[in-house]
Amino acid sequence: MHDAGRPSPGPLSEVAALFLKLGFVAFGGPAAHIALMRDEVVKRRRWVTEQQFLVRYGSTPEATWLLYGIKPVSIAVVVQAIWALAKTAVKGRLLAAVGALVLVLYAAGFNEIVLMIGGGLLVMAARHGWRLQRPPRVLALVPIVGAPALPAVAGAAVDPVSLFLVFLKIGAVLYGSGYVLLAFLRNDFVVRLGWLTDQQLIDAVAVGQLTPGPVFTTATFIGYVGGGTSGAALATVAIFLPSFVFVAIIRPIVPRLRESAWMSAFLDGVTVAAIGLMLAVTWQLGRSAVVDWPSAGLALAATVRLLRWRINSVWLIAGGAVAGAIVHWFGR
């Protein structure tokens, strides 16, 4: 029976129209879909109570078991991306040592922006410091490539301005690979601001793997979790905006950048620093994704298949979801 004082669900056309709308706007994977449905059918239309909704969605593992299988595979996809990048970027002992140093210092709590710029400057100094009589002109571009961080906005409450500024900062300083984003997200949202846990961050990464497009779609999902649809839009605009600005500024001088031995050394150092950051944050997030023997087996199997046979990661992610369903079916 329907609760007194609670509106009954509308006609079939209204229900169909609602879920048609959700089908168009519900980006972000199962967790976001459930959140949107709750907002529509519990809070706005009051078709069901919170308890009824929990019985249907909250206490059943539709999203949970999907993510259970997808998260270990997502970690494997990141490992494969790091391996492919490292084979190209780590050219010699100097770069390998810088990458290892950055990994250790990040694990010790050093800021990722300082480590990336420091890695670039260290390689630059090691290769060309002995020739330095006057600062080369190209060094003036370092503040552009590694734009300074905006002031930190502390506090646990998520507000739109803070959300926009944090993602604007990340978009301005991110370099090396889309997966370097994970280090920045963890440092800002988990460690510094406390808006997310490691578990929520790896959930966001898994959802980003579910959706088409770049890894940056993870930012869209985090924006949605923190601020709803408007938060998702703000996060997306903020993280992409600096790229458009920097391309417009740097495009006329790209030929000079390519010819500069100094800038080449700097970018080599930043790239291996980014690899060190990715390795460190992958280890940290992996501890949240790999929670038992089945998930460890999934992560290992996916990593081996990606590195040895180069299977399309989309199929592996789908397989991870199926494996999660099977584990759930047998009671884990």
pLDDT (tens digit per residue) in 9-60: 556 677 777 777 766 654 444 444 555 666 677 777 777 675 555 445 444 4
**Predicted confidence (pLDDT) per residue in 284-319, tens digit:** 888 888 888 988 999 999 999 888 887 777 788 888
* Cβ(190)–Cβ(198) below 8 Å: yes
* Cβ(143)–Cβ(178) below 8 Å: no
* Cβ(70)–Cβ(290) below 8 Å: no
Predicted local confidence at residue 100, as pLDDT: 94
Q: Amino acid letter at 34? A: I
CB atoms within 10 A of CB 111: 14
Predicted local confidence at residue 189, as pLDDT: 86
Predicted local confidence at residue 151, as pLDDT: 37
- Decide: residue 213, CB within 10 A, 0-12 exposed, 13-18 middle, 19+ buried: exposed
User: What residues have CB less than 8 Å from 184, skipping those under 6 apart?
Assistant: 112, 170, 173, 174
Task: Work out the percent of the chain whose per-residue pLDDT is above 70.
Answer: 71
**Predicted confidence (pLDDT) per residue in 187-196, tens digit:** 888 888 888 8
**What is the average pLDDT value for the chain, to the nearest integer?**
75
Predicted local confidence at residue 104, as pLDDT: 93
The C-alpha angle with vertex 300 and arms to 299 and 306, in degrees rounded to 5, equals 90
Predicted local confidence at residue 28, as pLDDT: 41
3 state SS of 231: helix
64-68, 183-187, 292-296: which range is least confident on average?
A: 64-68
* pTM listed for this prediction: 0.62
3 state SS of 205: helix
End-to-end CA distance of the chain: 35
Q: Up-side HSE of residue 245: CA atoms within 13 Å toward CB?
A: 13
C-alpha 64/C-alpha 207 separation (Å) is: 12
Select the more confidently predicted residue: 167 or 198: 167
